Chain A
Amino acid sequence: MTEKPESYEVAVERLEQIIDRLDSGQAGLRETLELCREGRELVAYCAAELDAVGEGLKELNLDELAARLEGSPS
């Protein structure tokens, strides 16, 4: 990927711009292929973000985290 998007919402916004531009039919061949490549990268990024919160709810306890932090030597 050329550059990792700032966030999911930024990625989706850019993706919508790209699809609007493609739908307008005004993009030339070179631009179209370039936009499709960028769009596929954004789709891949968003899919990975969704996958990251799709595995299964993970529950942690703050007290245990705090205890672990206090117990760690540093």
Chain B
Amino acid sequence: MDLPGPFPVGRYAKTLRDELRKRARVLLIGEITGLRQTSKQAYFELRDREGAVPCTIWANDLERLDLPEGALRDGAEFIAGGGPDYFTGSATSSPAFSFRVTQLRLAGEGDLLARLEALRKQLRTEGLFELQKQLARPALPKTIGVVTAESGAARRDLVVGLERRGWRGTVIWGFAPVQDRRAAPAIAAAIQDLAAQPRVEAIVVTRGGGSLADLWAFCDETLCRTVAMSRVPVISAVGHERDSTLIDDVAAVACSTPTHAAEAAVPLDCVTARMALERSAAALQRAADGAVRARTPHLAALARGPGRALRRERLALNQKTREIRAASERGVAERLGFQRRVAGVVLERAARRAAGPEMERRRDALRRAAVALRAHEPERTLERGYALVEDQSGAPVTTAAAATAAGRVRLRFADGGVGARVEEEDA
């Protein structure tokens, strides 16, 4: 151990005390807890959510402060002025650290408001003001939970408010102290227990009016966080001044009186709802009756002339039948024509395919006939040196007598014709 010393502990304790006493003297704000008094001193802790400091004050200093009777008590919010001190103890007594208080006063409205504002800002930044407002509140809950003092005007006012709404469901009372240091944890626990009851549909937290110090429990950070996170909507009605306590900010609805809280917990006025329902039932009945009545003349007309109506319907039916039949016949004819055209084309193509070889055979025969025919043509004979004798009209002259009778004839050679005159044979 490479450290200076060892020093006698008593001397070290005194050095420590002197060092602590050099620290700057300050004002602290917090809640008084664990208060006890002896003839020489008063002991308590000044505490808030983040921590605590043990405090001592000399009895004569306390007397000189002239605090109001009963003001110094557990749960009260105080401002203490002083500085750290260290009781060094002795061979037989234990040492102790404490904040030596020389000034002490009840935290004023201003002090509380400043703390409240800081807390409010923080919770708002965390979004805790919005959570409850997003919860659906049933218009007609059957069971509501109420956190309030067992004896108090708030309880009575709430019941009156519910009665006035014509609501006579189930109330589960979560009684809790509403003003002292036990209040905030007890209220938070009651809210949690009520929210754990499956049938509780809304929770009312209420107490009567008072100073901000009286209502301070409803600004407790842990309580307000519990309310914000509750799955059941919480309706706050604390004191008479709206928005003075933090619970009003985190609650689903903040009301100024227990009567208003009753209205917020049961949004539906059961008395007027019943009347509205009766009106609705009557309207439905009227509509049902009216619908039948409005159609009665038509029904009556049908009832009076069933034969005529039947005839009219039958005519219409016949007309329709005819139209349908005609349409269908036309359809058939069109289809048939089309099929015929298709068949014709198909047959023609088939015939053409089948006629191919036959045509060839016929063409051959024709060629042979042409050759045979040409052999008998007069032109072919003329080419061999014969001449054809024709009369003036072009008819063949086949006898000598006919030639003599004609007088003039025409001789047709292969390359053309010449005129000739017939003369008598001398012989």
- Main SS of the interface on chain A? helix
Judging by beta carbons under 8 Å apart, are B280 and A8 in contact? Answer: no
Per-residue CB contact flags for chain A residues 1-40 toward chain B (1 = under 8 Å, else 0) read: 0000001110010011011001100010100110110011
Smallest CB separation, A71 vs chain B (Å): 15
Judging by beta carbons under 8 Å apart, are A54 and B284 in contact? Answer: no
User: Is B268's CB within 8 Å of the partner chain A?
Assistant: yes
CA distance A18 to B283 in the complex (A): 10
Judging by beta carbons under 8 Å apart, are A43 and B277 in contact? Answer: yes
Judging by beta carbons under 8 Å apart, are B172 and A57 in contact? Answer: no
User: Is B291's CB within 8 Å of the partner chain A?
Assistant: yes
Judging by beta carbons under 8 Å apart, are B281 and A43 in contact? Answer: yes
Judging by beta carbons under 8 Å apart, are B284 and A39 in contact? Answer: yes
User: Is A74's CB within 8 Å of the partner chain B?
Assistant: no
Most B CB contacts (10 A, CB to CB) among A7, A40, A49, A53 go to A53
Chain B contact residue count (CB 8 A cutoff): 39
CA distance A50 to B166 in the complex (A): 9
Chain A interface residue bracket vs B: 35 or more
Judging by beta carbons under 8 Å apart, are B284 and A19 in contact? Answer: yes
A8-B138, A57-B171 known; A36+B163 contact, CB < 8 A: no
CA distance A44 to B268 in the complex (A): 17
Judging by beta carbons under 8 Å apart, are A60 and B283 in contact? Answer: no
Instruction: Give the contacts of A45-68 with B (CB-CB under 8 A).
Output: 46-47, 49-50, 52-63, 65-66
Judging by beta carbons under 8 Å apart, are A40 and B284 in contact? Answer: yes
CA distance A27 to B174 in the complex (A): 52
Judging by beta carbons under 8 Å apart, are A36 and B287 in contact? Answer: yes
Judging by beta carbons under 8 Å apart, are A32 and B281 in contact? Answer: no
Smallest CB separation, A13 vs chain B (Å): 10
A54-B270, A55-B168, A57-B163 known; A62+B138 contact, CB < 8 A: no
User: Is B193's CB within 8 Å of the partner chain A?
Assistant: yes
